[in-house]
Amino acid sequence: MKLGIERFLTDPALRAPLAGRRVGLLAHPASVTRDLTHTLDALAALPDVRLTAAFGPQHGLRGDKQDNMVESPDYADPRLGIPVFSLYGEVRRPTDAMLESFDVLLVDLQDLGCRIYTFITTLRYVLEAAARTDKAVWVLDRPNPAGRPVEGLTLRPGWESFVGAGPMPMRHGMTMGELGHWFIATLGLEVEYRVITMEGWKPDDAPGFGWPTERTWVNPSPNAANLWMARAYAGTVMLEGTTLSEGRGTTHPLELFGAPDIDARRLMHDMRKLAPEWLQGCVLRECFFEPTFHKHVGKLCAGVQIHVEDPQHYDHAAFKPWRLHALAFKALRLQAPEYPLWRDFPYEYEHDRLAIDLINGGPALREWVDDPAAQPSDLEAITRPDEEAWSSERQQYLLY
């Protein structure tokens, strides 16, 4: 298969509309070609592309900022001499001065297929800015490693944030290029927009189910270490809004969860008792870990690891990471009603709303967990219609 950037590099006809126009690039460390050349370097080597600026999203253009709300500064690229602007620093939307540096912005970002992953919010922001200033945006498309499945509640009106780009479920099942078309339509934008599509991407094919396993994985963010993390992320990301460790500071971040004061074996037992159908498609394993940084640093945590790497045990269609983690929260709440589960702290520049609610695009998930009378069927009853509606709505924007 070929990524959008690879088609762009090898086909001069795709680049022809850029003649005489200044080009900017929005990219991150995983913006690489098949031979692992960074997109910025690959574009700079093209004689027919006038590269005048670069932009980095959260975690930076080339660097590795480990945690949320760790900002990247603007700087000048030492080799190319062009400005590199941060869209996760003093600002998260491009300023007028930044927009003056290019005519066409190429966007080459590896996404994880989850609403909370901030690269799609950055895409929305640059599309809005481009529409306002008559700039063009082209997406060099990449795979959604989580594939096409849809899961989770739709973000409710008024809950938009940097981790909530718009009314979509947690696991949206689209590529960046496809989401650009959806943003333009739903926001009513008038903007020159183009997607350089992939060639040969087959999101329903095993064993990758979205990720072409013959390709090298490069972390799109520091804790996105592999395909297994990407598959689990629509559930494990909710742990950021809890006091449970999501495995940051271990070798398996966002593939496991735990805390020093929980009984992981009992938790798994109660999860299976409450809703065994929400645990299909993967294998859960009791584990112990000691984070070297972040939550519970230096403390031995009892936890659960979600295994989705074995093709004999992984069922792509059956695996429901968002439900799995909702169930873990529910089981813990029933075991220990007073457990301080929800973490109250500034989260992605929001100070007045709980992180778990921002993550879920509203309070419904937390309220379900905290209601001792609420059953799995009650959460299913409000979630399934959202998933069905999104599956229908997104259909007209799918390119593959």
What is the structure's pLDDT at 235? Answer: 98
Q: Do 64 and 114 share a domain, yes or no?
A: yes
For residue 237, the enclosing domain spans 227-390
Q: Structurally, how many domains does the chain consist of?
A: 2
The neighbour count for residue 217, using CB atoms within 10 Å, is 16
The residues facing 105 across adjacent strands are: 24, 137
Closest CA to 111 of 5, 1, 230: 230
Q: Do 101 and 207 share a domain, yes or no?
A: yes
- Domain CATH number, residue 232: 3.90.1150.140
Q: Do 246 and 199 share a domain, yes or no?
A: no
What is the structure's pLDDT at 304? Answer: 98
Q: Do 233 and 381 share a domain, yes or no?
A: yes
Does the structure show a pLDDT above 60 at 17? yes
How far is the CA of 61 from the CAs of 138, 168, 298, in angstroms?
18, 27, 31
Q: Do 189 and 281 share a domain, yes or no?
A: no
What is the structure's pLDDT at 68? Answer: 53
Does the structure show a pLDDT above 80 at 72? no
Instruction: Confirm whether 400 is domain-assigned.
Output: no
Q: Sheet containing 136-140: give its strands across.
A: 75-76, 83-86, 50-56, 22-27, 104-108, 136-140, 192-196
- Domain CATH number, residue 112: 3.40.50.12170
Instruction: Confirm whether 268 is domain-assigned.
Output: yes
**pTM of the predicted structure, to 2 decimals:** 0.95
Instruction: Confirm whether 396 is domain-assigned.
Output: no
Q: Do 139 and 216 share a domain, yes or no?
A: yes
Domain end position, chosen among 186, 220, 254: 220
How far is the CA of 367 from the CAs of 10, 164, 333, 362, in angstroms?
52, 19, 11, 10
Q: What is the mean pLDDT of residues 186-196?
A: 98
**Average per-residue pLDDT for the chain:** 95
Q: Do 253 and 326 share a domain, yes or no?
A: yes
Return the structure tokens found at 54: 């670069």
Place of tokens 């929005």: 26
Q: Do 193 and 49 share a domain, yes or no?
A: yes
Q: Do 283 and 208 share a domain, yes or no?
A: no
Q: Do 202 and 296 share a domain, yes or no?
A: no
Domain end position, chosen among 172, 194, 220: 220
Q: Is 313 left (phi over 0), alpha (psi -120 to 50) or beta?
A: alpha
